Chains A and B, each alone.
Chain A
Amino acid sequence: MDKRYFLETFHVTEPQMERLIAAALSHGGDYADLYFEYSTYNDLLLRDGEVSSGGFHIDFGTGIRTLKEEKTGYAYSENTDMDDMTAAAKAASVIAQGDNCGRSRTASSPVSGHVCRDGLYPMAVAWRDSAASSFLPFLKRLETGIFSKDTRVVKVSAKLSYSQSDIMMFNSYGELTCDTRPLGSITASVIFSHNGRNENKTVSRSFRMGAEMVTDTIIDEMISEAVSGIDERFEARRPKGGRMPVVMGAGASGILLHESMGHSFEADFNRKGQSVFSGRIGERICPAGINIVDDGTIRYNRGACNYDDEGIPGQKTYMVTDGVLTSYLHDRVSARWYGTAPTGNGRRESFRFNPIPRMRATYMENGTVPKEDIIGSVKKGIYVDEFSNGQVKIGEGDFTFYVKSGRMIENGILTAPVKDINIIGNGPQALAGITAVGNDLKIDNGTWTCGKDQSAAVSCGIPTVLIDCLTVGGE
C-alpha cells in the first residue's frame, strides 16, 4: 500500500506531522518520532467440538517520543485529533527539561549491515479481507484429526488468532516509513487420558503471513505433531537432578540462546552496565566456529521486520562471530550511546510503548557434527527438545528454561523419557561450555512471545548442541 493509504487511515498530513515533531521538540529535545498504529486482532476458539466463541479487537492511536541524549519522554493519544496529539507531543517534550548530565552525541546514525528493503511478509490474502467463517473448517479438521489419531485423546481446544497492523512512522529527520504487518497463529492444546492419568500437549504455528497460511497442509502437520511422543509422555519420569551434560535438540532449543545470551546482548542493559556481558565486545565468549545471529530478515518468520518500530530497515545482526562477541542489539538510543549504527532491534508492543532493544529471530548457525555423533559422545546426560518458557537474570547471567519433554542419555544412547523439569545455568559459562554444534539447524515456528516489559513476537532456532554441564531439576 502506498503512503496515501496510511495518511488517510490516520487522518493526518505531512505538514501536520512536522508540526507535531516541532511540538515534541519544543523544549529542546534532539530527536522526536511519531508512531501511528491501526491494528485489528481476531480470534476463534474451538472447544468441545464447536467454534462457539470468538471476536475481534480494534486498537488505534499514536505514540510520540522525544529523546534528549539517552533520556526518553513518551506519551500517546488514542485518536489522531491534532489537539490531542499535540498535547501528547508536549507531554513527551518535558524530558528535555531534565538535567543534562549525559554525553552529547550526534543524533544521526547511518544504517549498516544487511538491509532488506523488499517486503518480507506480503499477504496473498489479507486477513481483513477474509471472512472469519472461512477458517472454521480448518479448526474442525484440526480437532477431528487429533481425535482420530489417538484413542487416548479426551479434550482438544484449537485456536486461530490473527492480526493485521498498519504502521506509519515519521521522525525529526523527516523520514516517513510505512509497513503493514500480518501475524497469524494456530494453537492446539490436547489432553490425553490413560489408565486414570492425564497428560497434555500443546502445538502451535505462527507466521507473519496473510490468511493463505491456513491450509490443510499446516493443519495436518500440527495433527501429527500433537499426537507424537505421547507414549513417552505417559512413561516419563523426573530424573535424578543435578549437574550433567545437556544435548539441546535442534529447533525449539533456541530458547537457550534467547535466555542465556540474547537478553544479555540487548544494548539497553549493556549501556547501563547491568548485563553480565557489559564491556565485553571483541572478547571470545564461546568456542571458535560458533556464529549466533539475531535476524529480522527471514521471510514470513514471526520475528521478521521490514522495518523495526523506529523506522530502521530489518537486518541480520551477527552477535557472535566465530566465537567472538561482535555486536549488541541496538535501538537508536543505545546506538547513539555506543557511536554505532542501530541494528533494527528497536521494537515495541504497540503505540502505547516506547521502543526498546528486542530480539527478532535468534539462532545459531550450523556446525559440522551429525546429531547422532553428539548424542553418542555423552556417557551420562540428558537430551531435551520441547520447551514452554524461560527466564534470565541479566546481571548474574543465570538463566532457566522449562523442559516439556526429553530423554536421558546413557552410554551414548537415548533411554528413559523425562518431562516437566527446569534447567538452570549461567550464560557466559554455558556459552563457553558448548562442546559440539550439529549440522541440522532448525528454526522453530511456534508462538514464541518475549515478555521484556512489553510483549514482542519472536522466534528462535538452533542446530543440535552439546553443553558440557548444566543443572537439571529432579527428584
Chain B
Amino acid sequence: MRMTGMKDTDNRKEGLVSEDEMSAAKFCIDYAIGAGASQARVSLNKSVLDSFSVLNGSLDKVMHSADRSIFLYLFADGRYGTFSTNILDRESLGRFVTKALETVRMLAPDGFRRLPSPERTAKDAITGTETGLYDSSYHRIAAEERLSSALSGTIFREETCGNAGFRLISEECEYSDSIDDNYTIDSQGFSGRHTETSFAFCSEMTISDRKGDRYSGYWWEASPAAMRQDLKECSRSALERAVRQIGPKRHRSGRFNMITDSNVSSRLVSPLFSALNATAIQQKNSFLAESLGRQVFTDRLTILDLARTPGKPGSRYYDTEGVATKDGPVIENGVIKEYFTNTYIAGKTGMEPTVESVSRPVLMPAFPGGRGSCLDSAEKRVSLQDLMNECGDGIYVCGFNGGNCNPVTGDFSYGIEGFAFKGGRITHPVKEMLVTGNMVRLWNNLVAAGSDARGCTRWQIPSLAFAGVDFSA
C-alpha cells in the first residue's frame, strides 16, 4: 500500500531545531534582558512522533505529532517565574516576554533565585549527538516502512489457541518512532543541545480462559537506534504473559520473601529518588531528611547515576538548569551519597548544589556471600532464577496495580500481580494481593539484586529480592 500525504521530516542531517528557531530562543533572552530582566534561560523543545497502531492484524490508527515550544525561565528584580508558548513568531514572542516580565514583577522577591554559576554548566553538549542517542537514519524512514514495521509484529492471524485453553480476544500493537531535540541557552553564555531518537514497538494481548475470565499481557521493545529484531517476539512475549496468569488462586496473607521482576522494580526505587530531592527535604516532605552521609539501608544497596554513558537510554550531559551531569554514587553500600539539589534550594539551605534529578540510575548487582561485589567479574551475573533459588519460597511480583508511598513517612501499600513460588519454582498466579510496608525497612531487607535490568530502559533496575514483606490477600 502506498502511503501518501505523510510528509517525511526534512533532509536535515542532525536534529530538528533550525537556525531560525535557535535565533528565536536568543531573541527571547535578548528581549528579556533588554526589558530589564537580570537573568534568563530559554529551553526550546522540538519533537516529531509517528505511530502506527494495529488492532487484530489490521491498521487501526495512524498518528503524526510535531511539537515545538519555548520555555522561558525569567529572573528580574530578585523575582522568578516560568513561562511557555508554542507561538514562535517574533511579534508574538515579544508580547510573550513582556507579559512574562510583568508577571514576574508581581511576585514576591526571593534572593536565592538565580541561574547556576557558569562553571557548573555543561560545556560539552554542543552538537546534541554527544550522548550517542541519535540515529540519523531516522530521517530516512518512509511511511511505508512504519506501516510495515507495525504490521510485522502482529501474530493475531497466525495465533491458533483453540486447544491451548484460552481464546485470543484482542491484540493491539503499535510501532512508533520519534525524535526529540532540546536547545537550551542562558544569559550567562550557557548553550546546550541534546538530541535523541527513539524507536519502539509494544504489544498488548487480551485473552479469555474456558470460563470466560479475561487476562491481559503487555510487552515492549525500545531503542535509540532503528530496531532490527523480529517484532513478533514482542507480541509472543505479551501473549505468554497473559496466558501465564490463567487460573489465579487466592494466597494466604502473611510475611513472605518478595522478588520483583526487573520490568517493575523501578516502582520501588522511585520513592527513594523523590525522597532524595532537596526541595522535598527543605519542605519537610521526605522520609530521607538528615540522611546525607549516613548508612540508612543495607550495605547490599548501591545505586549509581551513570548519566554519561554514550548510547544508553537516559544519558544526558546537562540537566534542566544546564548544570553538567557527572557519574557518581547516589547510594553506596547503603550510605546516602547525594541529594539532588538545584541552585535555588542550594542557596536557600546552604547545601552543596548538584544536578536537579537523577538521569540514568544503575542499581548494582548484589548477592549474599559477596558474589556480585566485583563489578567487572563474569561471576557477578545474578539471574532471576538465582534470586528464586536464594529465597526458596515467596511471592514473585510481575506488576503493580495502583497504590502509593507516603513521601513523608515512607509508608507504602501497592496492589500486585504475580506468582507464588516454592523451592525456587513458580507454583501459581496469585489473586487480588497487596504488599504493604515502609521503604526504609523494605530496603534494609534487600537480600539480593540481579544483573538483569533491561537495556532499553532509562533506569537500570534489575530484579530484586527482599525478605520479610507483608502481603495481604
Q: Footprint of B on A, CB under 8 Å? A: 26-27, 44, 47, 50-61, 70-79, 87-88, 90-95, 97-99, 101-102, 131-133, 136, 154-155, 157, 189, 191, 193, 197-200, 238, 241-243, 259, 272-276, 352, 354, 388-402, 419-426, 471-475
Contact = CB atoms under 8 A, between A and B. Distances in A.
Contact of A97 (B3, B61, B408, B432): B3
Contact of B415 (A52, A53, A193, A400): A400
Contacts of A94: 3-6, 62, 143
B434 A422 contact: yes
Contact of A78 (B67, B214, B284, B432): B67
Interface residues of B, number: 76
B406 A400 contact: no
A424 B433 contact: yes
Contacts of B64: 74-75, 88, 91-92
Nearest to B4: A94
Given A94-B3, A132-B103, A132-B106, A241 B63 contact: no
Contacts of A241: 253, 434, 436, 470-472
A394 B242 CA distance: 13
B216 A274 contact: yes
Closest 10 pairs between A and B when the two form their complex, measured CB to CB = A241-B472, A400-B402, A391-B402, A90-B5, A395-B214, A50-B108, A98-B59, A473-B434, A400-B415, A422-B413
Nearest to B80: A53
Nearest to B438: A475
Nearest to B83: A55
Interface stretch (B84-92, B120-128, B129-137): B84-92
B100 A55 contact: yes
Q: Is the interface of A mostly helix, strand, loop or mixed?
A: strand
B80 A472 contact: no
Interface string B378-414: 0000000000000000000000011110111101111
12 contacts: A90-B5, A94-B6, A189-B285, A197-B409, A198-B409, A272-B170, A274-B170, A395-B214, A420-B411, A420-B413, A424-B415, A424-B433
Nearest to A200: B408
B180 to A, nearest CB: 15
B103 A54 contact: yes
A389 B412 CA distance: 13
Contacts of A189: 285
A365 to B, nearest CB: 26
Given A200-B406, A396-B214, 6 more contacts: A133-B106, A191-B284, A199-B408, A199-B409, A400-B401, A420-B413
A393 B170 contact: no
A187 B7 CA distance: 43
B473 interface: yes
Candidate in B99, B283, B411, B472 with the most chain A CB atoms within 10 angstroms: B472
A276 B209 CA distance: 12
B239 to A, nearest CB: 13
A276 B216 CA distance: 11
B3 A51 contact: no
B394 to A, nearest CB: 17
Contacts of A102: 58
Contacts of A88: 64
B340 interface: no
B169 interface: yes
B62 A471 contact: no
Nearest to A53: B80
B60 A70 contact: yes
B106 A99 contact: no
Contacts of A56: 83, 99-100, 103
Interface in B246-286: 253, 283-285
Contacts of B401: 391-393, 398-400, 424
A407 B82 CA distance: 42
A155 B60 contact: no
B10 to A, nearest CB: 12
Contacts of A58: 84-87, 96
Nearest to B289: A198
Contact of B437 (A78, A399, A475): A475
A273 B170 contact: yes
Given A59-B86, A274-B169, A424-B415, A98 B436 contact: no
A238 B436 contact: yes
B1 A422 contact: no
Interface string B106-125: 11111001000000000000
Contacts of A423: 434
B163 interface: no
A322 to B, nearest CB: 25
A129 to B, nearest CB: 14
A194 B207 CA distance: 51
Contacts of A400: 401-403, 414-415, 434
Nearest to B410: A420
B82 A61 contact: no
Contacts of A473: 403, 413, 434-436, 472
A157 B253 CA distance: 39
Contacts of A95: 59, 61-62
Contact of B408 (A191, A394, A422): A191
Given A50-B110, A58-B96, A421-B413, A471 B86 contact: no
Contacts of A471: 432-434, 472-473
B68 A78 contact: yes
